[in-house]
Structure 1
Amino acid sequence: MRPDVYFHVGAGRAASRWLQEQVFPRFRGVRYIPRTRFRKSAGIIARGGDLPVLVSRQLGYHEFTPSVAWFARAAPAARPILVLRRHDGWLRSVYLREIKELRYVPFQCFIDFERDAGVRPQSSALFRERIRVLEEHFEHRPLVLFFDRLVANPQGFVRAIADYVGASYDEREIAFRPVNRSYGDRQYRFLREVGRLRPLTRRQPSEHPARRWLRVRSRRLAWHLGVGLGRVAPEWILSPEPLLTDEQLERARAFYEADWEACLEYAREHNPSPRIAG
């Protein structure tokens, strides 16, 4: 018997790791397939079972459509779950992550709202397009939830997902705290100085898995060393230039305002009940 399938399509900087590590493993009454077993999920689903299946995978903008298409071939009746974060806060978090990983360019070169010549394409933050891709590939419309609700009421946010997938859980087993804690301004400024030595460039759509593994592990080692050094680095070697300005964040919010409103409207119209409309 083919089980009911739920597909959490995680986005970076929108609580994906917290859900994958602190929440979904605590769910009872569903079979959870973590991100590390995503490529084996098709076979697991095909073998069937009595319990609903919950699959979670964090997808960047390059891999979003091909990974969704691959999973949809195995489970076209899956019910997608998408968590979105407002564009200004999301881009701020993504940009600081790049600095943390020693990939630095000024924010106006990170995403260019005028000529679209930045490291990150403007289209990478078009969230309504991600909803369209999910609609196109699955028989069921996605459940669209919002990061700000998680921040305001994490317990209610978890209950909404659990009710949707038909899971139970013990709230005392869940750590309601961030998995990725932000560093202090001084540490980011130090990492920015280190990152200037190897500026960020626009990534290619594909990368050999072994090369990506080596790149990610080496950068993580470097940023952990940088965080420690950033605590003791003398102030005179750190640029006083702000990492981001309020004007830049406001520009990001205004640029994507129509896209954000379209996502909110989609949730109001299509989420299964007002209680989980976002």
Structure 2
Amino acid sequence: MSKQKPEIYFHVGLGKTASTYLQHSVFPYFKDIKYIPTNQYKKSLGIIEKGKDTKYLVSREFDRQFEDEVSWFCSVHPDAHIIVVFRRQDKWIASQYKRHVKGGFYKEFADFIDVEHNNGFWDRKEMIFMDKIRIIEKYSTQKPLILFHEDLSAPYKFIDLIARYCGATYSKKAVSVRPRHTAWKEKQLHAVKFFRKHVYSGQIKGGKNRWETWLYFRPWWLLFHMIMYFAVLLPRKWVIRNPLIQKSDLDKVREWTNKDWESLKDYANKNNPRL
């Protein structure tokens, strides 16, 4: 007797869109569906193939490797129901920049993302979210469920949408609505940026693989966190002379991505299931 084909739900989380929160504080508490956590993602195809459950939820955070990973997973499960959360591009890229500053990136925001000439560290095409939708449509037979980060202001309503989409249940008592990570204060990020710019601006060496890179970077990670903790004690005027990100730069991002954002909202309104 052939094995019944299970239902697959695939959360393709972009960075800085509450992916970590969902992966650790929400999905593990879903009932009536087998959750495959992010640390087992590379084994997920094998787990599903050998498993006996009728429904699976797989979650992984992607950024610039988005197409490679969607292609890899959907080559085996083209009927997977994809869940993706988007955040308004100016807020999203600002959060990405802060994450990189925390990790030692010391250049200005305009050097991180350049919407006019595309000479920045981050390719501006990554902010064209409709391209992500086209990638999903290319490899999956299903229209994705599109959610918006701003709707997390009503967390249980947000979680309910995902649960209903997956046919899962959960106990609100079990799910925390507190953010998984609190944002670092601008003063702390300025302190790390100052250190990298004026004390050590050399390249931080990477490794040949993920674990080697982790070992190389771990001492820097500890140092940067020590600097950020120490920065809390410093007077604000000693550390901050200018905003970490100029409002005018964010306005440029918002203007450049406005058409794409409206197209995304329109796509969601037309194609999201009525849950």
TM-score, L = length of structure 1: 0.91
Which moves more between the two structures, 10-19 or 39-48?
Answer: 39-48
Q: Which of 79, 83, 89 is 2:81 aligned to?
A: 79
In structure 2, how many angstroms separate the alpha carbons of the residues matched to 1:248 and 1:264? Answer: 23
Q: Per-residue CA shift, 1:218-265, capped at 9, x if unaligned? A: 443222212222123466752512101222211111111111111111
Q: Aligned with 1:119: secondary structure? A: coil
Structure 1 residue aligned with 2:170: 169
Q: How many residues align?
A: 269
Matched, 1:29 2:32: yes
CA-atom RMSD, angstroms? 2.1
Q: What is the Cα deviation at residue 113 of structure 1?
A: 1.5
CA distance in 2, matches of 1:29, 1:195: 48
Q: Residue 247 of structure 1 aligns with which residue?
A: 248
CA distance in structure 2 between the partners assigned to 1:110 and 1:100 by the alignment: 13
Q: How many Å separate the matches in 2 of 1:48 and 1:16?
A: 25
Residue 216 of structure 1: CA displacement? Answer: 4.8
Residue 207 and residue 116 in structure 1: after superposition, are their counterparts in 2 closer, same or farther (change >3 A)? farther
Is the 8 Å Cα contact of residues 119 and 200 (structure 1) preserved in structure 2? no
Candidates 107, 123, 135, aligned match of 2:137 = 135
More moved, 259-268 vs 216-225: 216-225
The residue number in structure 1 matching 2:201 is 198
Answer yes or no: is the 8 Å Cα contact 2:5–2:54 preserved in 1.
no
**Segment of structure 1 superposing worse, 97-106 or 220-229:** 220-229
Change (3 A) 1:199 1:124: farther
Q: Is 1:209 matched up with 2:210?
A: yes
Name the counterpart of 1:221.
222
Residue 219 and residue 272 in structure 1: after superposition, are their counterparts in 2 closer, same or farther (change >3 A)?
A: farther
Gaps spanning 5+ residues in structure 2: where?
Answer: none
- Matches of residues 59-138 of structure 1 in structure 2 within 5 Å? 59-61=62-64, 63-138=65-140
Structure 1 stretches lacking a partner, 5+ long: none
Whether the 8 Å contact between 2:14 and 2:86 is mirrored in structure 1 is: yes
Tell me if the contact between 1:103 and 1:200 (Cα under 8 Å) persists in the aligned partners: no
Task: Give the match's secondary structure for 1:232.
Answer: coil
Alignment CA distance shift 1:88-1:169 (3 Å)? same
- 2:259 maps to amino acid: A
In 1, the alpha carbon distance for the partners of 2:202 and 2:81 equals: 40
Structure 2 match to 1:12: 15
Q: Distance in 2 between matches of 1:207 and 1:83?
A: 31
